[in-house]
Amino acid sequence: NSSKLSEYEILETIGTGSFGTCKKVSRKSDRKVFVWKEVGYGGMSEKEKQLLVQEVNLLRELRHPHIVRYHDRIIDRENCTLYIIMEFCEGGDLGSVIKKHREEKSLVGESMVVKVLHQLLLALRECHKKRDGVHKVLHRDLKPANVFLDSRGNVKLGDFGLARILHHNFSLAQTFIGTPYYMSPEVFSEKAYDEKSDLWSLGCLIHELCTLSPPFTARDQQALAAKVLQGKVRRIPHYYSANLQSIIDSLLATEPSRRPDIATLLGRVEGLGPPATTP
Ligand SMILES: CN(C)CCCNS(=O)(=O)c1cccc(Nc2nc(OCC3CCCCC3)c3[nH]cnc3n2)c1
């Protein structure tokens, strides 16, 4: 029996994403806390609704310690709204962590950076393993606001799938798309997007975690593309190890084929600092 909205109590609105509103809710039966994401499908064509169903089915299949867990969905036909109920991550998002460190002028410790790198590599390996019938599941929207921390400080990759839904240029998504800081050279030059593009975005995210601002910034998309295609990146602070610098350099290789694959990267990361997942 599909669950109903009345089984949940709304605690607070956490924020609004490219898909709609995200709220913190608690299940009345056991007070367990979740988030739900409200996706309005009123303006969608039959085709777009089909895509939405496909994406939610994809979300349901991904079960991994470092991917935010999908729990349930509720369809409210009266308001043409789909509610996707997911695991609540108490630690908030990485964007807020970076903002805090920038304001406090303090660097993120290397062990935390390595933990985020390691756990996101494990999450991306799982995503790339999956196929939704035809093509590979790529994240496409890896950015600090889409990476969450649980109560034990473990990293959880969130909100993908929703990213792909909105890649079919839905109107709402267009209004939310900010500057694509993490867009890879091949995507700017409209070449094929594949796993290596997710690794480029991971490189941007880890670089930002070390420097507290995006590796490539510009006032508009054209200027950003020029910088990304030129491929010059400032080094991370000397506080961090040469190993970490070289892993980031390899992820930010302009030519996708020069970026190592996930297995190679995991070997290099597991060779670094202390064990990653907090038991
Ligand atoms: C320790 N403190 C410093 C941190 C306090 C932190 N607590 S907090 O304020 O409730 C808080 C803040 C941000 C996130 C979360 N947890 C969370 N957020 C999601 O999405 C956020 C949404 C994404 C799109 C854009 C709008 C926001 C999730 N999606 C699936 N699971 C999720 N979990 C909790």
Confidence of residue 170 (pLDDT cuts 50, 70, 90): very low
Residues with CB under 6 A from ligand 1: 14-17, 22, 24, 35, 68, 86-89, 91-93, 148, 158
- Half-sphere exposure at residue 86, Cβ-oriented, CA atoms within 13 angstroms: 29
The alpha helices in 177-261, defined as continuous H runs, are 185-188, 195-211, 221-230, 242-251
Q: How far, in Å, is the centroid of ligand 1 from the Cα of 90? A: 7
Judged by DSSP in three states, 9 sits in: strand
- On the question of pLDDT at 171 being above 50, the answer is no
Confidence of residue 161 (pLDDT cuts 50, 70, 90): low
Q: For residue 148, give the nearest of 156, 159, 160 by alpha carbon.
A: 156
Q: What is the ipTM of this complex?
A: 0.93
Taking the C-alpha atoms of residue 33 and residue 75, their distance in angstroms, rounded to an integer, is: 20
pLDDT over 70 percentage in the chain: 87
Q: For residue 55, give the nearest of 135, 165, 129, 159 by alpha carbon.
A: 165
Mean pLDDT for all residues in the chain: 90
pLDDT in tens, 191-203: 888 899 999 999 9
pLDDT value at residue 97: 98
Q: How far, in Å, is the centroid of ligand 1 from the Cα of 94? A: 9
Kindly state the average pLDDT of the residues 36-45: 94
- On the question of pLDDT at 172 being above 50, the answer is no
Non-local (6+) Cβ contacts of 48 within 8 A are: 41, 168, 170
Inter-CA distances, 242 with 121, 246, 272, 275, Å: 20, 6, 11, 19
pLDDT in tens, 74-98: 999 999 999 999 999 999 999 999 9
Kindly state the average pLDDT of the residues 91-116: 98
Q: Which of 71-80, 139-148, 156-165, 253-262 has the lowest mean pLDDT?
A: 156-165
Placement of tokens 């839904």 in the chain: 165
* Cβ contact 86:35 at 8 Å: yes
pLDDT value at residue 142: 92
Per the structure block, which two tokens stand in for 272?
Answer: 């670094």
List 30, 72, 93, 141, catalytic entry: 141
Kindly state the average pLDDT of the residues 140-144: 85
Taking the C-alpha atoms of residue 182 and residue 204, their distance in angstroms, rounded to an integer, is: 6
141 catalytic per annotation: yes
Placement of tokens 């950003």 in the chain: 224
Q: How far, in Å, is the centroid of ligand 1 from the Cα of 271? A: 31
Per the structure block, which two tokens stand in for 216?
Answer: 């490539």
Torsion angles phi and psi, residue 26, rounded to 5: -125, 135
pLDDT value at residue 19: 80
